[in-house]
């Protein structure tokens, strides 16, 4: 049984769920709009440029979660899913997921975005497993700290290797779909790397390496 691995943000989604969570908190008046937006936008730019300090970003996001009780957070998250995420599922995402299901593949979303934000998205898309950045909790309350190695860049490879060891899978016939040059460490490991609506750096490397390049947003590409 082959593994079908999917990055989430700007791959299965035509947008970034991490950044959008910050935008959602702004619209709800949970955070200071000007200050939070400036920092949220800068982290997003850092990610795009390949210079993101992942631990600083986790602290930025998890710090807000730590200020609120779990019931409130989950209520916000449900509204966020409906208002911000479902409208940006890329048009061809359902068909791609279904194609892999029909093949009998095991479907995993593997994302740097934290598990709290991404769990309901993975459930909605009906994938078999989610590998995401963990956030530390004590008695159901977020502490503002990461839990383990962030699922980012080389961390994605480490998370997946641990998951494969625990679940009896290997790299054989594995696929990975991503839009970002930040995912080059994992793209370089799988049997079938696929660049999805890629950023400029990934597009160039995909063409040089003759990886498949597809779009989940535009028909015919």
- What whole-number distance in Å separates Cα of residue 127 and Cα of residue 124? 8
**Pick from 180, 177, 134, 123: nearest CA to 158:** 134
Contact present, 131 and 111 (Cβ < 8 Å): yes
9 as an active site residue: the answer is yes
7 as an active site residue: the answer is yes
For 60-88, the three-class secondary structure string (H helix, E strand, C coil) is: HHHHHHCCCCHHHHHHHHHHHHHHHHHHH
Catalytic residue among 9, 179, 183, 197: 9
Catalytic residue among 7, 16, 105, 179: 7
For the chain, how many residues are written?
Answer: 221
First to last CA, the chain: 28
* Residues belonging to the active site: 7, 9
């Amino acid at each position: 049984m082959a593994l079908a691995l999917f990055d989430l943000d700007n791959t299965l989604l035509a947008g970034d769920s991490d950044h959008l969570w910050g935008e959602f908190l702004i619209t709800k008046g949970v955070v200071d709009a000007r200050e939070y937006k400036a920092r949220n936008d800068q982290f997003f730019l850092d990610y795009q440029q390949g210079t993101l300090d992942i631990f600083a970003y986790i602290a930025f996001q998890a710090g807000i979660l730590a200020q609120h009780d779990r019931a409130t957070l989950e209520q916000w998250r449900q509204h966020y899913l409906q208002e911000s995420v479902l409208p940006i599922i890329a048009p061809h995402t359902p068909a791609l997921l279904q194609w892999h299901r029909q093949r009998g593949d095991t479907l995993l979303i593997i994302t740097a975005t934290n598990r709290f934000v991404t769990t309901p998205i993975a459930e909605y898309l009906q994938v078999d497993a989610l590998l995401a950045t963990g956030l530390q909790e004590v008695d159901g309350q977020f502490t503002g700290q990461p839990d383990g190695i962030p699922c980012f860049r080389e961390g994605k490879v480490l998370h997946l290797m641990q998951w494969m060891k625990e679940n009896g899978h290997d790299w054989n016939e594995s696929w990975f779909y991503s839009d970002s040059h930040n995912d080059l460490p994992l793209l370089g490991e799988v049997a079938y790397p696929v660049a999805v609506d890629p950023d400029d750096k990934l597009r160039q490397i995909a063409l040089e390496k003759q990886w498949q390049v597809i779009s989940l947003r535009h028909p015919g590409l």
